Amino acid sequence: MRPNTARGRVRGALVALLTGALLLLVAAQATPATTGPAAPAAAGKGKHDRHRAWVGTWSTTPTAVPESDTTAFEDQTIRQIVHTSVGGKRVRVRLSNEFGDRPLVIGEARVARRAGDSGGRIDTRTDRPLTFGGRTSVTVPAGAPAVSDPVELTVPAGSDLVISLHLPERTPGSTVHAFAFQHNYVAAGNVTRAADVTPTATIDRWYFLTGVSVAADGRSPRSEAVVAFGDSITDGSDTEVNANHRWPDLLAKRLRAAHGPHPLGVLNQGISGNRLLHDPNPPAGSGADAYAAYFGQSALRRFDRDVAAQPGVEHVIVLLGVNDLGHPVAGTAPESEKVTAEDVIAAHRQLIARAHERGLKIHGGTILPFKGDTFGFYTAENEAARQAVNRWIRTGGEYDGVIDFDKALRDPADPRRLLPRYDSGDHLHPSDAGAEAMAEAVPLRLLR
C-alpha cells in the first residue's frame, strides 16, 4: 500500500501545481493593465462598449411621405429637440434614411443639452460632434439607418437634447415622423455649432432622426426599456405641443418618481393612423392619399425594427386596433380591409408570439371608447368588436399583463364614450388630463 500511497501524493502535488499555474495565467490575462478606472473609449472605436449596457432614452418611428409632400432641404441645418426618459454618461444617436430612394448626406451632426425649456438654444458647454466610424460626416445608403459613435456626455433623465443635422446637398424629406407635437427648427447654412439659430421655418416633425440611447458608467445598475407600441393616442395626438404630455412621457416621469431598483427608459413607438394589419392604402378619390403615407407600416410589419431592435428593451405595451376598426368605415382604407374582432385578436397573438420569442414581456392595453368620434369610426358593429377585443385582452390570459386604459378613461354614465374631462374634443383622442390618467393606469409592478 505504501508505493501506491506515495504515487498518489506525487500525482496530487502535480495536479495542484498545474491548477495553480493555470489560475495565475487566467488572472494575468483578465487583469487590466492599469489599476484606475477604464479610460473612455475613443470615438468610433467602440472599445469597452460590450461591457456597457446601452438603453434607449428616446425614440420615434419613421414613415414614408405621400407624393404630394415635396419638402426638401439644401445647405440647411435641422435642429431637433427630444426629451429623454432615462439618463446616462454616454450617448449615441440613430439616424434613418429608410424611406429614401437616394443616399442621405449628413455634412455635420452635433448633440448638446438644451439651454432653457423653449426654442432651439443649446448649452455650448455640452456641445459634442457626432461621428460615424470616426468621421464627422456620413452618407447613409437608401433604405438604411446609421448609428453614431458613442459620445461622452452626461444626459440627465427628463431633460431635453438638441440634435443638429447639416444637409449640404438637396435632400428630399423622405424619412419623417410627421406628428412630433414638438417644435423643431430649420436654419440656413451649417449652423450646427451655433448657440442659437435664426429659423427659416418652424416644423412639427422629426426628420431623419429615430433614436437616442445612453449608457451609464460601469458602477450604475443595468437599465432597461419599455416600448409603447401604438397609434395616434400613444403618439400624443391633441396633447399640448412642446409640453411632453404624451402618455409615455408621463409614464416615464412617474417611473422616475417611483425610484425603482434601476432606471427604466420609455420609448414611444406610436404613429398617428397606424394599424395592426394593414399598411396605408387610401382609396382612389378619397383624398386620403395626401396624408395616408404618414400612418406608417403596419404594426405586424414594423415590430422587429420598432420594438425588438430597441436598445435595452425588456417590456412592450401594446395599444392598437382602433384604426383597424375605424379606417374602412371612415373611408381612409378600402372596404376590403374591414376587419373583425377575431382578425384583431389574431394580430395581437402574433405580437405576443414574436415578443416571447425574443424573451420580452408584453402587456396588452384595452382599446379606449370612441362613441361620437368626429372621424366617423363609431358604429354599433365596431363597438361590439371593441368590446370583444377588450374582453379577450382582459380575460384571455395571453398577455403577460393587462393595462385597462378603457376602464380608466371611460364615462361611467356611458361607457362607450370618453369621460368629458379626458376628451380632447374629438371623442377619440385623450386630452392632456386623459394622457395623465393613462400613465397612472399602468401598474408599475408589471415593469419591475
Lowest mean pLDDT among 4-8, 181-185, 387-391, 423-427: 4-8
| Residue-level pLDDT at 39 | 34
User: In which band, very low, low, confident or very high, does the pLDDT at 221 lie, cut at 50, 70 and 90?
Assistant: low
**What average pLDDT does the segment 223-228 reach?**
94
In degrees and rounded to multiples of 5, residue 165 shows phi and psi of: -120, 125
**What average pLDDT does the segment 50-76 reach?**
91
| Residue-level pLDDT at 53 | 85
Residue 414 has pLDDT above 80, yes or no: yes
Contact 409, 368 (CB under 8 A): yes
In degrees and rounded to multiples of 5, residue 67 shows phi and psi of: -60, -30
Contact 220, 67 (CB under 8 A): no
Comparing CA positions, the residue from 355, 337, 340 lying closest to residue 278 is 337
Contact 182, 56 (CB under 8 A): no
User: What is the rounded CA–CA span in Å between residue 189 and residue 252?
Assistant: 36
| Residue-level pLDDT at 445 | 95
User: In which band, very low, low, confident or very high, does the pLDDT at 134 lie, cut at 50, 70 and 90?
Assistant: very high
User: What is the rounded CA–CA span in Å between residue 221 and residue 47?
Assistant: 20
Q: Where are the alpha helices (DSSP H) in 162-297?
A: 232-235, 247-258
Contact 171, 111 (CB under 8 A): no
Residue 267 has pLDDT above 60, yes or no: yes
Comparing CA positions, the residue from 368, 361, 91 lying closest to residue 226 is 361
Distance of CA 422 to the CA centre of its chain: 25
Mean of the per-residue pLDDT values of the chain: 90
User: pLDDT digit string (tens) for 89-122?
Assistant: 999 999 999 999 999 999 999 999 999 999 999 9
The pTM score is 0.88
User: In which band, very low, low, confident or very high, does the pLDDT at 261 lie, cut at 50, 70 and 90?
Assistant: low
Comparing CA positions, the residue from 120, 110, 84 lying closest to residue 195 is 120
**What average pLDDT does the segment 363-384 reach?**
98
Indicate the SS3 state at residue 275. Answer: coil
User: pLDDT digit string (tens) for 268-323?
Assistant: 999 999 999 999 999 999 999 999 999 999 999 999 999 999 999 999 999 999 99
| Residue-level pLDDT at 216 | 78
Q: What secondary structure letter does DSSP report for 120?
A: S
Contact 321, 368 (CB under 8 A): no
User: In which band, very low, low, confident or very high, does the pLDDT at 423 lie, cut at 50, 70 and 90?
Assistant: very high
User: In which band, very low, low, confident or very high, does the pLDDT at 144 lie, cut at 50, 70 and 90?
Assistant: very high
Comparing CA positions, the residue from 396, 239, 247, 390 lying closest to residue 320 is 390
